[in-house]
């Protein structure tokens, strides 16, 4: 589990390797990640946009930007939370993701909430001992 708090908004990420959707012999590895976004502050916020940086074991970076998450732009009241599950494929057995959510207050102020960098590890990665 990975956790990060920015301006009283806490993001918790739990990645999971999906063996049944992966085909290691073809260089296709798939992960799901479950995210919980909790508003621990006193102000209502709305998630407007997302930005992801997905990096594979060869250092290739894929960026994803867009409105909301899983087709929604959730409003988080004080004490409220929103959870969703999404996924990503990689051509390598390991990698990592990091990103941010753009939040907006009722007054129109926007700010970035950091998503903790999380590791995408599969049982197919080659282990080296130094």
Euclidean distance between CA atoms 29 and 88, whole angstroms: 9
Provide the whole-model pTM.
0.92
pLDDT confidence of residue 127: 57
| Beta strand ranges found along 9-90 (DSSP E) | 9-17, 29-39, 45-56, 61-67, 75-76, 81-90
Q: Are 50 and 68 in contact (CB under 8 A)?
A: yes
More confident residue, 79 or 124: 79
Instruction: Average the pLDDT over each of 7-16, 35-44, 78-87, 116-125 and give the range with the smallest value.
Output: 116-125
The domain locations on the chain are: 2-121
pLDDT confidence of residue 4: 98
Segment 98-105 mean pLDDT: 98
R_g (Cα) of the chain, nearest Å? 16
pLDDT over 60 at 130, yes or no:
no
| CATH fold for domain 2-121 | Immunoglobulin-like (2.60.40)
pLDDT band at 123 (very low <50, low <70, confident <90, very high): confident
């Amino acid at each position: 589990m990975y956790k990060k708090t920015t301006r009283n908004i806490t993001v918790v990420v739990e990645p999971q390797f999906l063996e049944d959707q992966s085909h290691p012999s073809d260089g296709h590895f798939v992960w799901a990640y479950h995210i919980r976004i909790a508003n621990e502050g006193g102000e209502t916020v709305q998630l407007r946009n997302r930005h992801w940086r997905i990096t594979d074991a060869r250092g290739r970076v894929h960026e994803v930007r867009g409105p909301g998450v899983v087709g929604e732009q959730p409003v988080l009241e004080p004490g409220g939370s929103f959870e969703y599950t999404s996924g990503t494929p990689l051509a390598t057995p390991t990698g990592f993701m990091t990103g941010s959510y753009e939040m907006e207050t009722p007054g129109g102020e926007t700010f970035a909430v950091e998503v903790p960098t999380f590791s995408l590890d599969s049982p197919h990665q080659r282990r080296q001992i130094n």
